[in-house]
C-alpha cells in the first residue's frame, strides 16, 4: 500500500490553514522591519553618545590608545565616508531583485543599517534605504503558498 497519496492532501490542508491563519497579519509584516530599524537606531544612539561623541573617549585615544580606539576610529571613518548609509542603500536596492528567498534578508539588513545610519550622521542615504526597504517588504507581503 502506497502511503504517498495520503500525505499530499495533508500537506495541502496545512498549507491552506497556515494561509488562513497568516492572512490577518499580512499587512503588518513591514512593521516588524520598522521595529528592527527602531532598535538599530537605539543602538546607533548608544554608539553615538556613548562611544563617538564623549570628549573623554577622544582624549583616551589620544593619550594611551586603548584597544577599542581602533574600533572607534574605524567607525568614525565609516561614518565620514557615508559607508553605513551606502551599505543600507545597496541592501535596499538588492531587496528588489526577484529572488524570493533573499529579498527579505536584504530588506531587513537595509533596515538595520539604515536605522543605525539615521542617527550616525548618515541620515540622507539611510532614510532613502529605510523607505526603499519598507516598500520592498510591503510589495512582497504575500506568502510563498499564495503566489498568483
Note the Cα 60 to chain centre separation in Å: 33
- Separation of alpha carbons 25 and 45, rounded Å: 30
| Residue-by-residue pLDDT tens, the chain, 148 positions | 555 555 555 555 555 555 554 555 455 567 788 889 999 999 999 999 999 999 998 888 887 778 899 999 999 999 999 999 999 999 999 999 987 778 888 999 999 999 999 999 999 999 999 999 999 988 877 544 444 4
pTM of the model: 0.74
Nearest of 94, 119, 125 to residue 108 by alpha carbon: 94
Q: What is the pLDDT of residue 148?
A: 47
Amino acid at each position: 500500500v502506497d502511503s504517498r497519496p495520503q500525505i499530499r492532501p495533508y500537506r495541502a490542508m496545512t498549507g491552506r490553514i497556515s494561509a488562513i491563519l497568516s492572512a490577518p497579519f499580512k499587512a503588518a509584516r513591514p512593521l516588524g522591519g520598522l521595529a528592527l530599524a527602531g532598535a538599530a537606531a537605539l543602538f546607533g544612539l548608544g554608539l553615538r553618545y556613548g562611544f563617538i561623541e564623549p570628549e573623554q573617549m577622544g582624549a583616551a585615544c589620544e593619550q594611551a590608545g586603548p584597544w577599542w580606539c581602533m574600533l572607534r576610529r574605524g567607525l568614525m571613518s565609516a561614518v565620514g565616508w557615508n559607508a553605513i548609509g551606502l551599505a543600507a542603500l545597496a541592501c535596499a536596492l538588492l531587496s528588489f531583485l526577484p529572488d524570493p528567498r533573499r529579498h527579505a534578508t536584504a530588506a531587513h539588513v537595509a533596515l538595520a543599517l539604515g536605522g543605525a545610519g539615521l542617527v550616525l550622521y548618515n541620515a540622507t542615504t539611510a532614510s532613502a534605504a529605510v523607505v526603499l526597504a519598507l516598500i520592498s517588504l510591503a510589495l512582497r507581503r504575500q506568502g510563498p503558498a499564495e503566489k498568483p
